[in-house]
Amino acid sequence: MTSNAPGSLSPVPPPVGPFAAALATDVLVLDGGMSNQLESAGHDLSDELWSARLLAERPEALTEAHLAYFEAGADVAITASYQATFEGFAKRGIDGGRAAELMALSVESAVDAAVEAKTRGRSGPLLVAASVGPYGAMLADGSEYRGRYGLSPAELERFHRPRLEALAAARPDVLALETIPDTDEAEALLRAVRGLGVPAWLSYTVAGDRTRAGQPLEEAFALAADSEEVVAVGVNCCASDDVDGAIETAVRVTGKPVVVYPNSGETWDASARAWTGRSTFTTEQVKGWRAAGARLIGGCCRVGPEAIAAIARTLG
């Protein structure tokens, strides 16, 4: 695994690597929620760093969580770097160099799980997607479900680029630009991933046929239509009922493979830091998503290994 320092990557075109090859071959099963799997193992995540806290305290717990999903049938593990930022780590007194090491460790933990899963009999490519959460995730106040932070795309690009460089230096198979609530942040991320040499997917969090900030999904997906770095577009961290329309729009506007991984259907209460409501996610919906054009299918918050195993069985 390459370990260049952040900022040292030379601009290169996005590679045709194992992720693109696997995506061209078959539908890939993504994993489920990292936080619910860690909490079920007894880890306290009531913290602004969320699962990223364990990068410094219990990285082996992350490997165990990834392994649970690989053994359930996931082909792709999404790293615990969603809330890992230089700014967030700095609040804990962790300097930039160590923060970059912890971001790289998020990739290494998932790679270790893939290696272990192979020794236990898993076949086929097991891939690692480095999670890049929105600016609102660093704020830890639920604003990733609103967007519109009062920052320009240029300011958001300056926030995201250093962490993208740190994650890309660890050589994941793909960068997961996920839970993006508005087009300003999408625009910033599309500029920030240029020249990193790692493909990416862009996934919005949505409500109905609009981003969380209220922009039409047609406009949101159009931003990525001509991006060479972006190999898939879609939605995550949303209600499963919002997925069908998003797939149709994404296919029509971009022609790219579609990624979908909705929540269980419960609602996050940011002030109480707890989930409310009931689960509405069913694996029967997966058949329709595949038929409509989804090529990467999994779950987000509150979707665990049991549900991922059911998705894997459904997709055959």
**What one-letter code names the amino acid at 10?**
S
Longest dimension (CA), the chain: 49
Phi and psi (nearest 5°) for 293?
Answer: 130, 5
Q: What is the DSSP letter of 260?
A: E
What 3-state class would DSSP assign to 152?
coil
| 238 annotated binding-site participant | no
Q: Give the alpha-carbon dihedral of 302, 36, 211, 84, to 10 degrees.
A: -170
Least Cα distance to 286 among 262, 305, 306, 267 occurs for: 262
In three state form, how does the secondary structure of 4-56 look? CCCCCCCCECCCCCHHHHHHHHCCEEECCCHHHHHHHCCCCCCCCCHHHHHHH
Residues 149, 100: contact at Cβ < 8 Å? no
Phi and psi (nearest 5°) for 257?
Answer: -55, 150
Tell me the C-alpha distance between 146 and 161, whole Å: 22
* Binding positions for Zn(2+): 237, 300-301
* Binding positions: 237, 300-301
